[in-house]
Amino acid sequence: GKVVALFFGYTHCPDVCPTTLAEIAEVKAMLGKDGERVQAIFVTVDPERDTPQLLKAYMANFGPGFIALHGSAEQTAAAAREFKVFYMKVPGKTEGSYTVDHTAGSYIIDAKGQVRLFTRYGTGAKALADDLKLLLAEPA
């Protein structure tokens, strides 16, 4: 019965991931009481480093109720395929270090479970809040 903002990323991301999650937190606040009907879900594309414990601590930075999902490498690949999400490890400058290039957008799923919108990174909190208001006004 909630509208879901689903985002694929990783905790070591230097910019897109924390900015996107902070924007979702801002949108939830902008929506007031209706913000409680918005569920943020973060799916890690780096299950090797993003342990469940790390994900729990990371998500606490953005507010109560934010959920992080962790799966095996195979489960992550299957979920990414379903949502047509790209991700790829990129070697870093030092031995064993890496970043992950990944799709930088969120899927918005209505209260009936239908994907309704793909929001691109940098669209802004106001635009997302306006879209979510429309979806929240629909009957569940």
At 62, list the tokens: 């953005």
Query: What is the chain's pLDDT, residue by residue, as a tens digit (140 residues)?
Result: 899 999 999 999 999 999 999 999 999 999 999 999 999 999 999 999 999 999 999 999 999 899 999 999 999 999 999 999 999 999 999 998 999 999 999 999 999 999 999 999 988 999 999 999 999 999 87
Query: CA nearest 9: which of 95, 97, 83?
Result: 83
- pTM of the predicted protein model: 0.94
Q: In 10-77, at which residue ranges do the beta strands (DSSP E only) sit?
A: 38-44, 67-69
At 30, list the tokens: 């902008």
Helix axes 125-137, 16-30, angle to 10 degrees: 50
